[in-house]
Structure 1
Amino acid sequence: MRTTRRLRAASVVVLVLVSASCGTDDNGAERGSTPTSQSPSTSKSGVTETPGSDAPTTSGTTITTATSEFGDVLWGPDRQVVYIWEKEPSGTAECYDDCAVAWPPVLTTGDPVAAGAVNAELLGTTTRRDGSMQVTYNGHPLYYYAHEGPGEVKCHDISTHGGLWWVITPAGERAE
């Protein structure tokens, strides 16, 4: 009986933690916006299908721009907005373990590809501890927020894991 109660209590705690997100502001209103342009169809893995070919070709992850409530900002594949973290002033990734679960890195298997108003000269990569390549922009590693769907911007100017997270403009700066 006690075990059942403990399991129920633990389940409630897990449910509350999972459903909590940075999608509300201080007044409880949901943050979010929908981009007005479409992202390319490249998958997060960087693999795209070539018409008339049986085998996929490997290319870099495409980063593009779209309008949000914070102006034009960068988006990754699948219309997912990308973020930078104030705790990473250089190109070295510092978000690992539980941080990387909540904020998955934008990975690529080749040189990242610029689309829209993205400045190709600001795109780059950094090598993560596991050897994977993470996309950078203006020297900042890029991340998704794990609990956002396509077209959503819930976590701009939100503090988690010891620092603020920001969407990034085509100029390579945090959005205001």
Structure 2
Amino acid sequence: MKRTSLAAVAIAATGVFGLTACAQPTETAAVEVAAARSSTPPGADAPADPEGVAVPELAGAETPDPPTAPVPEPTVAKTQKWVKIYNGPSRKDVTPPASIRTGSKTVELAATPNAQIGTYVTDGAGRTLYRFDKDSNKPPKATCNGDCAKAWPPLLIKSPGKIFPQGLDPKILGYVERADGTCQVTINGWPVYYFAKDSKPGDILGQGVNGTWFAVNPQGGKTKPLPDAIQPAPEQGGEGGDAPADAGY
């Protein structure tokens, strides 16, 4: 083969190898660009390719919401002998007693807003709780007994008892022993009662009766009377049976 031919072959071969060698940086750049794309966090500027052309931003995966912190279980804030009073509502469903006269080992209390009388306290079933002006809170004493307690059944708690409040300070909750030996829940020392004529959650038919009965507020105080509250009536005697609806005692 002539020298001229050999030189041409050598030049051609060099060109081939040169083309092959030039392809590798391009492939390497492509790999680097792909790696940069995969490592670019969502929202960051997209890297430019080796030729100076901006690489479109790749859609990143949505950032997951931070995990929700679990709601802590209520803890015991106060103990009165065999009754434990917690610092919040129970995390487990509590079935309140169907009857307002039986009492329960577990009592729920909740602050409930009302446009007419302000915020008052209900039990776990949403039934209104009242306080009686003729009772006392220092020291706690319940004076509604006998026929009075038929019209105004006390909120009773049995041993071993638990009280779960929502919207009330657990430190002001407790109980007082009644004349018949049962134990009645107190709010800031005031014994609390139901009204027998309240037939469903939200009823406040006992509000202001005889000027001595009021739905109790979360601090143990009285809520505002209604304009049409039952006013004092002549005393009505008689033993047994239901006490009159307007029994103020």
- Give the structure-2-normalised TM-score: 0.46
Task: From 219, 222, 227, give the equivalent of 1:171.
Answer: 219
1:108 aligns with 2:162: no
Counterpart secondary structure, 1:78: coil
Task: From 122, 127, 130, give the equivalent of 2:177.
Answer: 127
Greater RCO, CA 8 A, separation 6+? 1
Conservation of the 8 A alpha-carbon contact between 1:40 and 1:78? no
Counterpart secondary structure, 2:150: helix
Task: From 71, 76, 95, give the equivalent of 2:144.
Answer: 95
* Alpha-carbon offset, residue 81 of structure 1: 0.3
State the Cα deviation string for residues 116-167 of structure 1 (Å, max 9, x = none): 21111111101112211100111111000011022201121221xxx61011
Conservation of the 8 A alpha-carbon contact between 1:63 and 1:112? no
State the Cα deviation string for residues 69-123 of structure 1 (Å, max 9, x = none): 2121100132210000000123111101110000000001144523221111111
Counterpart secondary structure, 1:154: coil
Distance 1:118 1:46 in 2: 20
What amino acid sits opposite 1:154 in the alignment? L
Conservation of the 8 A alpha-carbon contact between 1:111 and 1:125? no
2:118 corresponding residue in structure 1: 71
Distance 1:71 1:122 in 2: 20
Give the alignment of 1:46-65 within 5 angstroms: 47=104, 59-65=105-111
* Alpha-carbon offset, residue 40 of structure 1: 5.6
Quick check: which has more Rg, 1 or 2? 2
1:86 aligns with 2:133: yes
Distance 2:222 2:155 in 1: 17
Task: From 71, 93, 96, give the equivalent of 1:42.
Answer: 96
- Give the structure-1-normalised TM-score: 0.63
Conservation of the 8 A alpha-carbon contact between 1:74 and 1:167? yes
State the Cα deviation string for residues 20-42 of structure 1 (Å, max 9, x = none): xxxxxxxxxxxxxxxxxxx9632
Count matched residues: 124
1:140 aligns with 2:187: no
Distance 1:172 1:118 in 2: 10
Distance 2:161 2:171 in 1: 12
What amino acid sits opposite 2:195 in the alignment? Y
Counterpart secondary structure, 2:166: coil
* Alpha-carbon offset, residue 60 of structure 1: 2.8
Distance 1:166 1:74 in 2: 11
What amino acid sits opposite 1:175 in the alignment? T
Distance 2:179 2:154 in 1: 12
What amino acid sits opposite 2:212 in the alignment? L
Conservation of the 8 A alpha-carbon contact between 2:103 and 2:155? no
Distance 1:99 1:78 in 2: 23
Distance 2:191 2:164 in 1: 15
Q: Percent identity?
A: 27
Q: 5+ residue gaps in structure 1?
A: 1-38, 48-58
Distance 1:71 1:114 in 2: 22
Counterpart secondary structure, 2:119: strand
1:156 corresponding residue in structure 2: 207
Identify the structure with the greater strand proportion. 1
